[in-house]
Amino acid sequence: MAIQWFPGHMHLTRQAIMERVKEIDVVIEVLDARLPGSSANPLLQEMTGHKPRLKILNKQDMADPVQTKAWMDWYNAQSETRAIALDASEPAPTRRLIEQCKLLAPARGGLAKPMRVLICGVPNVGKSTLINSMSGKTQAKTGNEAGVTKLEQRIVLADDFYLWDTPGMLWPRIIVEKSGYNLAASGAVGRNAYDEDLVALELLLYLQTHYAPMLEARYKLGISAEEIAALHDDELLTLIGKKRGAVMSGGRVNLQKAAELVLTDFRDVSIGRITLETPAEFEAWLAEGQQKDAERQARKDAQTKARRSARRQQR
């Protein structure tokens, strides 16, 4: 199942970014530290590829610290890119952000040449909360759901530092299937775009392999990490449902309720600090997605060519 979600306001956001980027010095992309590859918008790379980029791995307090370090190294190895990790408890995010932007655009600064920065991110990545903590005011709307910010906003963080906030934007077609599931698990995708059962099963499939001891600690399953890893994903979801009381009359497990419990526990860190992808895993998923996309496009082109040929023969 491919997960896609692209409300109308996201198209307007894309147009606004393309217009605004002409006069921007640095582009900040806020990523979810739990899924740093999947929450990076490939459209943003296309639209702002010539601009220096600061990647903020937000919600680092919710992510696996070992994997956060790996992702920081991965992004910092890229050209004209710097990466920092932040979370809600960061005491002085504004200072760190301004310092990093000045390193990326050293010729900007001062009242004569103020720094002009565009900040972007997928929905529900914590961008608005971060902006409010930086400015010390409630300037950006926040909410625990995708698509809260709807309009571009200009925010002054210092006399010579202007920040343009844009609504959260996904991309029209997510070619990496695993990224779609990870975005849905994190809450970046609207609930009407996915089946919670399937997303929870995909989440558990990853957690079984990488975080089985955390599953045992959270749900008291009464089996070893090795046994947890060996379970089929729907068996694991059923067992979690039984342990958490998601049982209907007759003793059947309410898998929808169990799925909701698992997704909520992941999102509020009740299971623990988890990262759903490593740089190597994401690169492999992306290569596979690009190959499938190229094959899909080739089939589409062949069909178009065949239809045109058939029309010419009919004339």
Domain containing residue 68: CATH number: 3.40.50.300
For residue 125, give its domain range.
8-165
Which region among 49-63, 131-145, 163-177 has the lowest average model confidence (pLDDT)? 131-145
* Antiparallel, parallel or unpaired: β 81-85 and 53-58: parallel
Whole-number pLDDT of residue 149: 46
Say if residues 164 and 152 touch (Cβ distance below 8 Å).
yes
Give the whole-angstrom CA distance, residue 122 versus residue 129: 13
pTM of the model: 0.85
Do 85 and 230 lie in one domain? The reply is no
Phi, psi of 114 (to 5 degrees): -65, 150
Residue 115's SS3 state is strand
Whole-number pLDDT of residue 150: 46
Count of domains forming the chain: 2
Residues 6+ apart with CB under 8 A from 221: 215, 228, 239, 240, 243
Do 87 and 138 lie in one domain? The reply is yes
Residue 125 maps to a domain: yes
pLDDT in tens, 39-84: 998 888 777 778 899 999 999 999 999 999 999 999 999 988 999 9
Whole-number pLDDT of residue 211: 97
Do 25 and 143 lie in one domain? The reply is yes
Which region among 9-23, 64-78, 82-96, 177-191 has the lowest average model confidence (pLDDT)? 9-23
Residue 301 maps to a domain: no
* Antiparallel, parallel or unpaired: β 115-121 and 153-158: unpaired
Distances (CA, A) of 271 to 21, 220, 241, 246, 283: 39, 11, 15, 17, 26
Whole-number pLDDT of residue 277: 98
Whole-number pLDDT of residue 143: 45
Instruction: Summarize the confidence of residues 222-250 as an average pLDDT.
Output: 93
100: number of Cβ within 10 Å: 18
Residue 3 maps to a domain: no
**Distance from the Cα of residue 16 to its chain's centroid:** 21
Q: Greater confidence, 232 or 293?
A: 232
Above pLDDT 70, what percent of the chain?
88
Do 73 and 132 lie in one domain? The reply is yes
Residue 315 maps to a domain: no
Q: Greater confidence, 275 or 122?
A: 275
Do 22 and 150 lie in one domain? The reply is yes
Among the listed residues 229, 148, 186, the one whose alpha carbon sits nearest the alpha carbon of residue 62: 186
